Structure 1
Amino acid sequence: MKFLEFEMDRDQVMDITPEVQEFVKQSGKKEGAVLVFSVGSTGAVTTLEYEPGLKKDLPRMMDRLAPYGEHYAHHETWNDDNGSSHVKSAVIGTSLIVPFSEERLVLGTWQQIVLINFDTRKRKRKVALHIL
């Protein structure tokens, strides 16, 4: 298992495909799958076409689903302001399994693995990688 750490801004979408690909290559395995897990409950991982428009569209659309500034019962529990962040993370998900063959991730031409910070502030995001 390997852990990666990234400093991320609020609503930042980051391409982590190169780091995951390097981990697969260093594993020495030719075929299998890699688990990608975002540690924490306000981050998420998924795949998408990593381009400027979608980097803006995804956080904007998630704000429609779980708007910042609304009342969330979570705020009463911890006296904080990131209830929307937890909802967004739960909807997108915190883990992903990606197959690989010949030491290469099996991804579409325009498909990248992305890490998203949905928290209401900058965060240090940790990602766990594990070969299955």
Structure 2
Amino acid sequence: MIIAINFIIFQNWDSDVRVDMESMLNKLIPDSTPFRHKCEGPDDMPAHIKTAFIGTSLSIPITEGKLNLGTWQGIWLCEHRDHAGKRNLVVTMQGAPMKK
């Protein structure tokens, strides 16, 4: 399994936030860094590092069968490769069943 994406809960109202987030990640971990691991392309190692910094696990609160997010929150898929491939998603639910 290749890990080069993250899901995060983040501010989802202003589209400039996404642009700023991507810009900042690219400044912190630029593709131009002379990484030794580059057999899968110049964007591969930066993608792995961004994924490691952000994390690969997310807990999303669900209340009464609905996502319990704040007014301005959304779930972002952060793709760190320049050319995304096919992705498979694994979802694991934890918790007690709802009482009827």
TM-score (norm 1): 0.62
The CA deviation string for residues 9-57 of structure 1, in whole angstroms up to 9 with x for no partner, is: xxxxxxxxxxxxxxxxxxxxxxxxxxxxxx7311111111123101211
- Structure having the larger proportion of residues in strand: 1
Mind listing any 5+ residue stretches in structure 2 that lack a counterpart? 95-100
Q: 1:80 aligns with which of 34, 41, 51?
A: 41
Change (3 A) 1:128 1:79: closer
Q: Spell out the pairing of 1:58-97 with structure 2 (5 A cutoff).
A: 58-75=21-38, 78=39, 80-81=41-42, 82-97=44-59
Point out the structure with the larger helix share.
Answer: 1
**More RCO (CA 8 Å, sep 6+):** 1
Q: Secondary structure at the match of 1:61?
A: helix
- Structure possessing the higher radius of gyration over alpha carbons: 2
Task: Show structure 1 runs of 4+ deviating over 6 A.
Answer: none
RMSD of aligned Cα (Å): 1.7
Say whether residues 1:107 and 2:52 are aligned partners: no
Percent identity of equivalent pairs: 27
Equivalent residue pairs, number: 92
Secondary structure at the residue paired with 1:44? strand
